[in-house]
Structure 1
Amino acid sequence: MGKVIGEGTQPLICTPLVGRNQEIVLAELAIILEKMPDIIEWRADFFERIANTDEVIALTNAMKKIAGDVPIIFTIRSIREGGQIISLSDREAIELSAAICKNTSVEYVDCELSNLPEHFQKLCKIAKQNSTKVIASFHNFTCTPRKEILEQKFRQAEEYGADVAKVAVMPTSVEDVLTLLSATLEAKKKLKIPVISMSMGGLGALTRMFGGVFGSTVSFAVGENSSAPGQVPIDDLKTVFQIVKKSMGM
């Protein structure tokens, strides 16, 4: 059985797949699996055939068969939250994620909190019916909002019925990094669901390495290609986690 977000004593390492076509995606998958990540995220917004639901489902099933026990997160990141330009509307993207829940054995789907509440809750209902977990996400690629706003985003994820709450922001100072970590710690204390958080870019790389100490349950690392600024190579991240674990006596 694969690892579950929120379980264990240290963050799980997730690596992204960002290939434009099936051949590249499967080649990336083979390379990444050799590096033994805990989770794989397929950023389907990079996939040039995303508008073909049957093709996306077929590729997802092929990926899952190859990945075996390694859990997969299916993600369509919108352009407003740092994703690629795609031909699907928000509603159509939700419908595709719902189709993935119904027709594949993928363990997680990502859904942005910026979606309409009724669309978000519809996906949560379908996901639950198909034993798929929903990661509610919020991204800001320009700045780090105030701590109160970040805490509100974490709470909103739980209130919407998601299984995991994720916040990713861009720092412009070390103080911003501390804001993200402080909000993460508060969310860990108050929420009943696991949280994922990261500060992006060079400054934010610290949170990818040490965010687990403050409650983040997943860290995104570079396997073959990165999907966001500041991601650390998977081998380096594993080394850091081992040092932190040993030093803290975990």
Structure 2
Amino acid sequence: MNTVNVRNIEIGSGKPKVIVPIVAVTKEDILKEAAEIASLPADVLEWRVDWFENSEDLAAVKDVLKGLREVLGDMPILMTFRTKKEGGEKAISMQDYIDLNVEAAKSGLVDLVDVEIFSGDDTVSAILDGAHANGVKVVASNHDFFKTPDQDDIVSRLVKMQEMGADICKIAVMPQNRRDVLTLLSATEKMANDIADRPIITMSMAKDGVISRLCGEAFGSSMTFGAAGKASAPGQMNVETLVQILDALHQAL
């Protein structure tokens, strides 16, 4: 598998890298949380722009990104606008979605952007092309907050992301029971070992799925999410506890 290098982080080797999200509303609170995260054992900061009160204002978004870069130093920044249809705070037109991600990439202030793979192939391609032209990596994603698809369906969604050219392929699903968690882990192992030529990120959400956020190194998921303040999805653990568990599992493996 090819790894992805972002600043001083190599994604796809060793322990799963830890992403910590910010879901604050105001610039002041976003930068305050970022300063706290900068002192934590996190690898990547995810800014959830859909929570930002001025997310429709590209100048305001770039202003926050500039502040984040100053606060975070060399920590990589993943910028994500999670749409309403995939569990985010706001709806957005596809043209605005493209413009937001491409302009952020052009700014030189972000290292990765997230694109939802089922936003339409033209939209996805426009963001991929715009990001890659500016040296920014792309995380293609899909989120199902209602169910866990079967193994083949999970794998096929990840394969679509890889075939479209995403640098990292991510899926998050909701378990209805613990057997669903096993389905997610089985799909992860199959994709990582038999198909993927780049890093993947998988997780099963909520309490039943917590184990999937911890065992990525064993099954093939290259990154995981931990919470410093408010969690951005159900089942995220405190980042410091998460890192302790990841360290222990890494030593055992």
TM-score range, shorter chain: over 0.9
Matched residues, percent identical? 33
CA contact (8 A) 1:124 1:161 kept: yes
1:154 counterpart = 2:158: yes
Deviation track 1:92-128 (CA, whole Å, cap 9, x = no partner) reads 1121011000113311000001111011101111111
Corresponding residue SS for 1:4? strand
Name the residue aligned to 1:241: 246
1:4 aligns with 2:10: yes
Match of 2:3 in 1: none
Out of 117, 121, 124, the position equivalent to 1:117 is 121
User: 1:36 and 1:239, CA in 2 relative to 1: closer, same or farther beyond 3 A?
Assistant: closer
Does residue 143 of the first structure (1) align with residue 147 of the second (2)?
yes
Runs of 4+ in 1 over 2 A off after TM superposition: none
Q: Is the 8 A contact 1:111 1:134 kept in 2?
A: yes
Q: How far, CA to CA, are the matches of 1:145 and 1:205 in structure 2?
A: 18
Is it true that 1:46 corresponds to 2:51 in the alignment?
yes
Is the 1:101–1:132 contact (alpha carbons within 8 Å) kept by the matching residues of 2?
Answer: yes
Correspondence for 2:189 = 185
Distance 1:98 1:5 in 2: 22
Contiguous gaps of at least 5 residues in structure 2: 1-6
Residue 212 of structure 1: how far off its partner (Å): 2.3
Matched letter for residue 141 of structure 1: F
CA distance in 2 between counterparts of 1:201 and 1:178 reads: 14
Q: Give the superposition deviation at 1:186.
A: 1.2
Equivalent-residue separation in structure 2 for 1:122 and 1:246 (angstroms): 41
Match of 2:217 among 212, 215, 227: 212
Number of residue-to-residue matches in the alignment: 246
- 1:138-169 deviation line (CA, Å, top 9, x unaligned): 10001101111100011000111110000000
Distance in 1 (alpha carbons) for counterparts of 2:95 and 2:152: 29
User: Which residue of structure 2 lines up, in the alignment, with residue 81 of structure 1?
Assistant: 86
Matched, 1:96 2:109: no
Residues 1:221 and 2:201 aligned together:
no
Letter in 2 for 1:182: S
CA contact (8 A) 2:111 2:136 kept: yes
Is 1:31 the equivalent of 2:11? Answer: no
Q: Give the whole-Å Cα distance in 2 for the aligned partners of 1:65 and 1:188.
A: 35
1:70 alignment partner in structure 2? 75
TM-score (norm 1): 0.96
Whole-Å separation in 2 of the counterparts to 1:158 and 1:65: 33
Q: TM-score, normalised by structure 2?
A: 0.95
3-state SS of paired residue (2:118): coil
The more displaced of 62-71 and 131-140 is: 62-71
Does the CA-based 8 Å contact 2:15-2:247 persist in structure 1? Answer: no
The one-letter code sitting in structure 1 at the alignment partner of 2:24 is: G
Aligned: 1:60 with 2:74:
no
Q: Does 1:128 align with 2:132?
A: yes
What is the rounded CA distance, in whole Å, between the counterparts of 2:191 and 2:69 in structure 1? 31
Higher deviation after alignment, 237-246 or 201-210 = 237-246
Q: Distance in 2 between matches of 1:114 and 1:4?
A: 27
Q: Which runs of 5+ in 1 are unaligned?
A: none
- Tell me the C-alpha RMSD between the 2 structures: 1.0
SS of equivalent to 1:159: helix
CA distance in 1, matches of 2:180, 2:234: 16
CA distance in 1, matches of 2:10, 2:18: 11
